[in-house]
Amino acid sequence: MCALDKEIRKLNIHEVGGLSDILDYNNDWQILMDIIPADLNSENPLDKKYTWEDVMLIENEARRVDGKSCTKILLEEWGTSGKVRPRLSTLRELLIKVQLFRAAEYVSELLKVPYPERPSDSSAAKVSAPDVDQLPLIPIVPTPQPEYHAPIQMPIVLPPSVYSTSNNEEQDPVQDQSTQPIITVPHDTSSKKPEFMNFPYSTLANVTNNFSIIVGEGACGTVYSGKFYSDVEKKVAVKRLDKQGMNTGLKKGQFQNEITTFSKLNHPNLINLLGFSCDGEFLCLIYPYMKNGSLCDNLAVKTKSLHWKSRLDIALGIANGIGYLHESELIHRDIKTANVLLDDRLLPKLSDFGLVRLSVSETGRTIMTNTVVGTECYMPSEAFNGEISEKMDVFGYGVILLELLTGLPPYNEHIQTSLADFIIEIDSNSSSEGTIDSLIDKTAGDWGGDWETGVSNPVYQLALNCLEDNKNNRPDMKSIIERLENIKKYTVR
């Protein structure tokens, strides 16, 4: 299977938008919808998935949500229904079949495969452009251009809201701010000043021995260990954004958003921010050093496996951290094992708050954004369309539960599929629970008993609930915490 041949439900907002621009014209989406088979393995042309009543439902939904594309609604419904999920290659075949060649060519570009051959004697034939030498000459009159003046580089000062607890954000904190210069922070003597400090970059170079000891690397940059000395030695982790991150508004927005978020939060299952630096060559964030590293790294080490009781405690701690964020009307947007750090007592700490977004849970609405961010194998289908809600954190948490249960990585490079898709496919096709039971990580111990009496089955069922395609069917974090606490009370001896 081609790595680019992803499921329809995982198309991002821009890819769906491109298809919508093509198929919404002349209502071509209806032609596609008419030939979608009920079973992707069926060759019976009469075995159709949708009726004209379904077409009317889509049109009514588009009218109800003013301006929403009918193509987008169709792709959302088709992409998340059925045991076998349609992929780009399936879509391309259907588009060719009904001679919607412009859309088929667009999908071919996404798959990086040759365009389908068009017929030469129908309306779908390619139109030849006239020879450029035969076109009449049209004089071009140059348009006067205004004199260019370079922008004045003024420092950006974090607003007073950095030190307040108001939640009045309107824009996505990770939207492109590439025109902004580097951020500076004022010296504020007000009583609302956060406890973390603004360190000179030169100080961080000293405490990290000139950034020589790497303890982690990620998309934003590199994490180094360092030591502060006062009465006692204090070990810290310094996350330094790479130069590419320095030059993009996305990373600057994440940097500023992380500082702003930490000024409002305090919970034992969230990492503490000790300080930051923004006066030097790189933007930096300073945290306490977590002796046991990330949960992702711990699960990857099979020679020293985490015991199942520790895993259950970690799962509950993560849930408490996410629940606290949601109670604070915030959405993390990048819940994954790489963003869970473990201290010397294996207490989990959620980290990386650069993508955190204000929630609108009190209104029951979903936030829409043009900036699709996150880690693909932890993202639900609606996130690829730019939909943000607390339920996307719940989906990511469901993947973490699967990792804790199986010890498997979140994405399998060999079969090119995510852990969630892999498990869900096995679960839907398996006639025996023993198939899933065989995937449980036995290096963690006996899980409190067998599949019927132990911890693994109820935790697995909870994970499946968190991974529901329809976000409205996923539990909220409060009920997840209650279920985990009941599992511990009933099963842990």
Question: Where in the sequence numbering do the catalytic residues fall?
Answer: 334
Residues recorded for the chain: 493
Angle at 126 between CA 125 and CA 131, to 5 degrees: 135
Angle at 289 between CA 283 and CA 293, to 5 degrees: 105
- Three-class SS state of 37: strand
Residues 322-354: b if buried by 16+ CB within 10 A, e if exposed: bbbbbebebbbbbbbbbbbbbeeebebbbbbbb
Contact 343, 237 (CB under 8 A): no
Pairing label, strands 221-229, 214-217: antiparallel
Q: The dihedral of CA 297, 300, 303, 309: what is its sign?
A: positive
Q: What dihedral do alpha carbons 15, 330, 326, 348 form, nearest 10°?
A: 90
Query: Where do the DSSP E strands lie in 85-155?
Result: none
Query: Where do the DSSP E strands lie in 305-443?
Result: 330-331, 340-342, 348-350, 357-358, 367-368, 387-388, 411-412, 417-418
13-23 helix and 70-79 helix, angle to the nearest 10 degrees = 120
Whole-angstrom distance, CA of residue 392 vs CA of residue 332: 9
Q: How far is the CA of 26 from the CAs of 21, 343, 447, in angstroms?
A: 10, 59, 58
Give me the half-sphere count of Cα atoms (radius 13 Å) on the Cβ side of residue 84. Answer: 9
Q: How far is the CA of 378 from the CAs of 197, 328, 411, 420, 488, in angstroms?
A: 33, 22, 9, 8, 25
DSSP code, position 73: H
- One-letter amino acid at 171 equals Q
Phi then psi for 236, rounded to 5 degrees? -130, 165
Tokens of 112: 């990086």
Which residue is listed with tokens 């060999």?
414
